[in-house]
Amino acid sequence: MKHALHIDEAAVELTAIRAQGPGGQHVNKVSSAIQLRFHVLGSCLPDDVKQRWLQSGDSRLTQEGEFILKAQRHRSQEANRLDAWARLYATLDQYAQAPKVRKATKPSHGAVQRRLQSKSMQSKIKASRQGRE
């Protein structure tokens, strides 16, 4: 898949770690999960993309602006490495596009009239209940 922005491999740190969950005989011997670390602030991404990413409130971002991702869906280390890269690019694509600006709209004249008529009807109904007690 072609991406609009490119991340240099040297800017990403990949570490093999032990995966969580059930595993069997090799669970304590094999490091099949991948932890990906990408420093957003120090990257060569455009400034507007960095700002959107850092202000997104993503829980995978640290205070220092480092993006940490853990890939452990697959049983092999290589499959998890490819999955980590794919998820990094998916996250990057999410922040690469500027959000659409909301255009303020007004309710139609008919909608306003219907709302006011409904309010006056409700008012009359409640007023008619006042004298019964």
Topology of domain 9-96 in CATH is Double Stranded RNA Binding Domain (3.30.160)
Which residues lie closer than 8 Å to 92 by C-beta, 6 or more apart? 3, 5, 7, 45, 49, 53
**10 vs 78, more confident:** 78
pLDDT of residue 23: 66
By residue count, the chain amounts to: 133
> What is the tens place of the pLDDT at every residue in 95-121?
888 888 999 999 999 999 999 999 999
**b/e 9-32 (16+ beta carbons within 10 angstroms → b):** eeebebeeeebeeeeeeeeeebeb
Query: What mean pLDDT do residues 64-88 have?
Result: 91
% of the chain residues with pLDDT over 90:
37
pLDDT of residue 59: 87
Domain edges within the chain: 9-96
**16 vs 110, more confident:** 110
